[in-house]
Amino acid sequence: MKLLYLPAFYKKLKRGPQVITPKDIGIIISYTGIGKDSFCVDAGTGSGWLAVSLARVSKKVVSYELREDFKKIAEKNKIIANVDNLEIKLSDVLKGIKEKDVDLITLDLPNSEKAVKYANKSLKEGGYLVGYLPNTEQVKRFVMKMEHYNFTDMLTIEVIVRDILVRKEGVRPSTKGIWHTAYLVFGRKHTNSEKVNKKI
Ligand SMILES: C[S@@+](CC[C@H](N)C(=O)[O-])C[C@H]1O[C@@H](n2cnc3c(N)ncnc32)[C@H](O)[C@@H]1O
């Protein structure tokens, strides 16, 4: 029974606060299409599992973390992951995001909706904002805030991976597994042409 299927790379990483695991990391990367030229901002860093994963595929990642003890864990994971394009800032993302022209901003904190206005300022036109939100109440607040700022291409999903038992007696889904981790909300910052179209 593979309750949490972890590739060898993730088994090496340290854990502090709750981490985002590969099933959700994979879809964040694939659904936003980031690549070797992308600039990403992430908050809160926590154990840095998402931050190091983004750093492995993009050009540069800046990650915001409030707590020094969690930053230390993430710095260890940065070394283990062997990425030098990740900057971890001891800083409150709810006081603003300094970076500009960002391709992707990921938010994983209890009140992520409060960072949407800063994300809107920092993203480039068409850039992606992704919220990793364990509870439906958070999803509602986050989506409402994104709609307020005219984000487009909105998508809210949950990623469920089913473990299939393959045995002589028969092949069927396992009755146990990890079901819910969090909901994922995706959206893109509107472009000027989209703003103009709205007015018409
Ligand atoms: C669940 S953890 C993030 C886990 C991370 N995404 C990972 O994959 O390892 C949430 C983190 O957000 C941090 N945090 C909460 N509010 C914050 C804020 N306003 N600014 C920056 N970090 C914040 C917490 O200290 C905690 O480390």
CATH of the domain at 172: 3.40.50.150
Which residue has a Cα nearest atom 1 of ligand 1? 18
Residue 1 in any domain: the answer is no
Residue 2 in any domain: the answer is no
pLDDT at 178: 77
pLDDT at 5: 84
For the stretch 102-126, pLDDT in tens is 999 999 999 999 999 999 999 999 9
Amino acid making up residue 195: K
Q: Is 73 in the pocket of ligand 1 (CB under 6 A)?
A: no
Which residue has a Cα nearest atom 26 of ligand 1? 46
Mean pLDDT, residues 144-148: 98
Residue 55 in any domain: the answer is yes
> Phi-psi category of 13—alpha, beta or left, where left has phi over 0 and alpha has psi -120 to 50?
beta
Alpha helices in the chain (DSSP H): 8-11, 22-32, 49-57, 68-81, 116-122, 136-148, 192-199
Ligand 1: centre distance to CA 196 (Å): 36
Q: Is 50 in the pocket of ligand 1 (CB under 6 A)?
A: yes
The dihedral built from the CA positions of residue 35, 151, 47 and 182, taken in this order, carries a sign that is negative
For the stretch 38-63, pLDDT in tens is 999 999 999 999 999 999 999 999 99
Q: Which domain covers residue 181, as residue numbers?
A: 8-199
Residue 3 in any domain: the answer is no
pLDDT at 177: 77
pLDDT at 196: 53
- pLDDT band per the 50, 70, 90 thresholds, residue 141: very high
Ligand 1: centre distance to CA 7 (Å): 23
pLDDT at 194: 67
Q: Comparing 175 with 22, which gets the higher pLDDT?
A: 22
Among 99, 108, 114, say which to mutate for ligand 1: greatest number of ligand atoms within 8 Å of CB: 108
Going from the C-alpha of 128 to that of each of 83, 122, 153, 177, the distances in angstroms are 23, 11, 9, 30
pLDDT over 70 at 197, yes or no = no
pLDDT over 90 at 68, yes or no = yes
**Number of domains within the chain:** 1
pLDDT over 80 at 25, yes or no = yes
C-beta separation of 16 from 70 below 8 A:
yes
Among 76, 109, 116, say which to mutate for ligand 1: greatest number of ligand atoms within 8 Å of CB: 109
Q: Is 53 in the pocket of ligand 1 (CB under 6 A)?
A: no
pLDDT at 200: 45
- Beta-ladder partners of 60: 39
Q: Is 118 in the pocket of ligand 1 (CB under 6 A)?
A: no
Residue 149 in any domain: the answer is yes
Complete DSSP assignment for 42-97: EE--TT-HHHHHHHHHSSEEEEEES-HHHHHHHHHHHHHHT-SSEEEEE--GGG--
Residue 71 in any domain: the answer is yes
Mean pLDDT, residues 189-197: 73
Residue 174 in any domain: the answer is yes
Q: Which of 23, 62, 58, 64 is nearest to 46 (CA)?
A: 64
